[in-house]
A and B are shown apart, each in its own frame.
Chain A
Amino acid sequence: MQAFAALLDSLSFQPARNAKLRLIETYLRQAPDPDRGWALAALTGGLDFPAAKPALLRSFGEEKIGAELFHLSYDYVGDLAETLALVWETRPDAGPPPSLSEVVETLQRATKMQTPAILRRWLDTLDSTGRWALLKLLTGALRVGVSARLAKQAAANIGDQPVGEVEEVWHGLSPPYRPLFDWLLNGGPKPSSNMGGAFLPPMLANAIERAELDALDPAHFRAEWKWDGIRVQVAASGGVKRLYSRAGEDISKAFPDVVDAIDFEGVFDGELLVRREDAVAPFNDLQQRLNRKAVTPKMLKEHPAHVRLYDALWLEGEDLRALSFDERRARLEAWMARTPRPRFDLSPLVPFTDWVHLARLREEMRSDGIEGLMLKRADSTYLAGRPKGPWFKWKRDPMLADCVLMYAQRGHGKRSSFYSDFTFGCWRQTADGKRELAPVGKAYFGFTDEELRWLDKWVRDRTTNRFGPVREVEPKLVLEIAFDGIARSTRHKSGVAMRFPRINRIRTDKPADEADTVDNLLRFVP
């Protein structure tokens, strides 16, 4: 448990992706089985035991040091699990701390009545980092900034395998993943990718610009609209039906309407959309349905989900991934034509003669549900990962707005001495008729290294106020912000939320007074 706790502790402070990977890899190499398997399960969200309630932690704390001191402590620390971990003292006579596997295996068997006594004993044996990690495990949320995919990437790295190989076998395995480590570290056999609704690692596209297209022969490519939903994989085999996000996260529970409509077997790529009648609803409508554990009947009725298919990986018991795009497409079209299904349709090909023609089609298409074009080589086999050359995404030109820099925050790692995270705002009228800036977004890329040095100096020279790591600056600098979409939001003070904002240009030529207003921005909202 202590080694796992040290890992979580380091991860929670380390913001850089590569450093996080290194930490997880080091742990997975050094920890024994089955500890490392349980750790991988914890990091990928694969552990499930009855969560400890906040009231239990509070009562433990009050029992330990009294209500008054516990209240003062919690007030200062601000996090209940952390407060309890800090105020509870290790008892030297309590024996050795439990291993991670002892913790997991005991909790899986323990009844709710037994848990408090077990917990108390463990808290006595662990140090404060160990207690913090234990309580984080028990309260369900690790929050150490590690996605399931990142953890799988680390596992893949220790065996020098591409992450796709790990993802392919992943859904056929269960914690503590002994066969996985046996394969990755000890030259054991590769676990079979059980086809019971297994996720197959997807093929991804690279971004391309108009100018780069001229080097390519249009006759070799097929075009499809790039839908503004989320890329999903529909996987059904051996009676198991699942819907996965692009990263392999099982999102079936949030979309029972789609999963219940699966009356076939096979593995397909498609775009998950909210669709009313024949129209694709804005991305924001889809967002309402993401990340929800329980789906209400109202939600299902008002935000009906739909999958627009564009590729078939397995069909009629056959792995199609070695076939060309054209061959897979023909199989998919024929299969779709046999049985129409209301929750699924086919993303049509966009016929075009040359790049000029296609560029015009892209310009003319102004539907909200489309964010550009996908270009796929007709002869491309289905390759996991992001191979260079076969698939491209040609996004619609971004929207632009002139915003005023309001706050800056230092970055991490290489950027830890640079003010590199920028919050910017647009003008609006206050109730009493004054003009004020309302923050509309945050961007931390889009600039060159040289521009970053310039911005950093600008921020240091024009600071008017400091709040911890954040500096407020004179509202004088106009930044041209590029973004891919904008929606109304009740969670943001300005009432709008940008998608994928980045700094396009630094407009030193433009007075801040002439920057955009929030009302200007609202005109972009579909």
Chain B
Amino acid sequence: MTDTLNPRSWLYPTPRGLYCEPGGFYVDPAVAVDRAVITHGHGDHARPGHRNALATPETLAIMRARFQGMPDTTQQPLKYGESVKAGDVDVSLVPAGHILGSAQAVLEYRGQRIVVSGDYKRRPDATCPPFEPVPCDVFITEATFALPVFHHPCDASEIGQLLRSLETFPERTHLVGVYALGKCQRVIKLLRAAGYDKRIWIHGALASLCKLYQEHGVDLGDIALASDAILETFKGAIVLCPPSAIADRWSRRFFDPIPSMASGWMGVRARARQRGAELPLIISDHADWSELTQTLTDVGAPRVWVTHGREEALVAHARSIGIEAEALHLAGREEEDET
């Protein structure tokens, strides 16, 4: 560790994204660039059109699925735990526990280590390996749910609510809004873990990523496209769809559906009502307040840069425990999006 080197001199935000100067690459850039390191496949981190993209093999597979095969991008797969030299910087990828393929980018330069954690969570997820804390000099953390009001309850009890509602309203279709990448497959796995072995219906927009997860060894059980079935089938069924489809004409095919939504935002009543959720399920792929604060302790970094979300509260907390913390404003991150 060299205290003389200012970390901001070799990794800093630019209008195109977070730039690593001695490595010559951007991490999760907001626009197409020459060289990009991608932490995970969500749209606000992985964008099309880079000339070179370095990411886990799973993330590259997700990007190919979303960006028509990405024929114009030179893809550089890097497995978890392996290391590669980019310019003068050593780059390795470590599991972030967020979604399939998600990684923290560990960057080392002249004895200094910065971890760009991307998006992460700390609780178990059957669709990806768990977050691994990496001791470092600077830890860059997300802050999507960085307020002490966010304590996500245990997943099993939220799934239990969905199953209880099916018992109370056995004739109604339970329409669950989920993000296509990650949340969808995690909710299916949680339902399976809770013993629900009936067919789970999915909206067409979820199909290709479910298939990709299955190809990567994630067993989703009996799933089928909702468009392939007759209406009678959906009585008392669980149908997963993108959140926007609940409000869309598409949902009219179901008789008296219960609109549900699986998201960390569902923890706050006003937000759940805004989304029109009648059965809010607090299931998040992001760290909640205790996970964020626990992670700061676990990585033991003397400096923390806080990005996208409610930076203010986490910066205040970090400073109160003696960490040198500041907000890092990155281009292209949607504050309210939970992807």
> Which residues does A use to contact B, with CB under 8 Å?
6, 10, 12-15, 19, 22-23, 26, 65-66, 68-70, 72-73, 76-79, 82-83, 86-87, 89, 127-128, 410, 412-414, 416-418, 468-469
Report whether A86 and B150 are in contact in the complex, using a CB–CB cutoff of 8 Å.
yes
16 other A-B residue contacts (CB within 8 Å) besides A68-B316, A86-B151: A10-B165, A13-B272, A13-B280, A19-B258, A23-B168, A65-B148, A66-B320, A69-B317, A72-B313, A77-B149, A79-B269, A86-B267, A410-B247, A416-B278, A417-B249, A417-B250
Is B268 within 8 A of A469, CB to CB? no
CB-CB under 8 A from B270, the residues of chain A are 77-79
Q: Which residue of A lies closest to B277 (CB)?
A: A13
Interface: B196 (CB within 8 A): no
Chain B, residue nearest A417 (CB):
B251
Cross-chain pairs A/B with CB under 8 angstroms, 17 sampled:
A13-B272, A13-B278, A19-B258, A26-B168, A69-B147, A72-B312, A76-B147, A76-B310, A77-B268, A82-B268, A127-B153, A128-B151, A412-B276, A413-B256, A416-B259, A417-B250, A468-B274
For residue B26, give the distance in angstroms from its CB to the closest CB of chain A.
31
Shortest beta-carbon distance from B214 to chain A in Å: 30
Contact A69 B251 (CB under 8 A): no
Chain A residues with CB below 8 A from B151, complex form: 86, 89, 128
Q: Does B41 contact A (CB under 8 A)?
A: no
**Cross-chain contact of B149 among A6, A73, A410, A416 (Cβ < 8 A):** A73
- Taking a contact as CB atoms under 8 Å apart, the answer to whether A72 and B247 are in contact is no
Q: Are B251 and A14 in contact (CB under 8 A)?
A: no
Contact B153 A128 (CB under 8 A): yes
Contact of B273 among A13, A66, A68 (CB under 8 A): A13
Q: Which chain A residue lies CB-closest to B267?
A: A86
Of the listed residues A6, A66, A76, A87, the one surrounded by the most CB atoms of chain B closer than 10 A to its CB is A76
Question: Residue-by-residue, is B245-271 near A (CB-CB < 8 Å gives 1, otherwise 0)?
Answer: 011111110011111000000011110
CB of B249 within 8 A of CB of A22, answer no
B169 at the interface (CB under 8 A from A): yes
A417–B270 alpha-carbon span in the complex (Å):
20
Which residues on the B side are within 8 Å of A79 (C-beta)? 269-270
Q: Digitize B195-222: 1 where CB-to-A-CB distance is under 8 Å, 0 elsewhere.
A: 0000000000000000000000000000
Say whether A22 contacts B169, CB under 8 Å. yes
Question: Shortest distance in angstroms between A421's beta carbon and chain B's nearest beta carbon?
Answer: 12
Complex contact A414–B256 (CB within 8 A): yes
Contact A83 B247, CB 8 Å, known A26-B168, A69-B313: no
Question: Given A13-B279, A22-B168, A77-B268, does the pair A417, B149 have CB atoms closer than 8 Å?
Answer: no
Instruction: Provide the bound-state CA to CA distance between A72 and B145, in Å.
Output: 13
Complex Cα–Cα for A79 and B269 (A): 9
Residues of chain B with a CB closer than 8 A to A10's CB: 165, 279
Name which of B147, B149, B151, B168 has the most chain A CB atoms within 10 A of its CB: B149
Asked whether, in the complex, the Cβ of A69 is within 8 Å of the Cβ of B316, the reply is: yes
Bound-complex Cα distance A78 to B151 (A): 17
Q: Which residues of B contact A82 (CB under 8 A)?
A: 268-269
In the complex, chain A residues whose CB is within 8 Å of the CB of B247? 410, 416-417
1/0 per position for B88-124, CB-CB distance to A under 8 A? 0000000000000000000000000000000000000
Contact with A along B147-173 (1 / 0, CB 8 A): 111110100000001000100110000
Q: Which residues of A contact B249 (CB under 8 A)?
A: 417
User: Nearest CB to that of A84 among chain B residues?
Assistant: B149
Which of chain B's residues has its CB closest to A419's CB? B247
Which residues of A are found within 8 Å of B320, using beta-carbon distances? 66
Give the Cβ gap from A5 to chain B, nearest Cβ, in Å. Answer: 12
Which B residues are in CB contact (< 8 Å) with A65? 148
Residues of B within 8 A of A22 (CB): 168-169
* Interfacial chain B residues near A15, Cβ < 8 Å: 278
B257 touching A416 by the CB < 8 A rule? yes
Q: Quick one: given A13-B279, A65-B148, A82-B268, are A417 and B273 in contact (CB under 8 Å)?
A: no
Evaluate whether A416 and B169 lie within 8 angstroms (CB atoms) in the complex, with A72-B147, A79-B270, A87-B148 already known.
no
Q: Which residues of B contact A14 (CB under 8 A)?
A: 278
> Chain B nearest CB: distance from A296 CB in Å?
35
Closest chain A CB from B319 CB (angstroms)? 10
Q: Which of B268, B277, B320 has the most CB of A within 10 A?
A: B268
With a CB–CB cut-off of 8 A, which chain A residues contact B256?
Answer: 413-414
> Which chain B residues lie closer than 8 Å to A468 at the CB level?
274
A416 and B312: CB pair below 8 A? no
Q: Which residues of B contact A83 (CB under 8 A)?
A: 149
Residues of B within 8 A of A418 (CB): 252
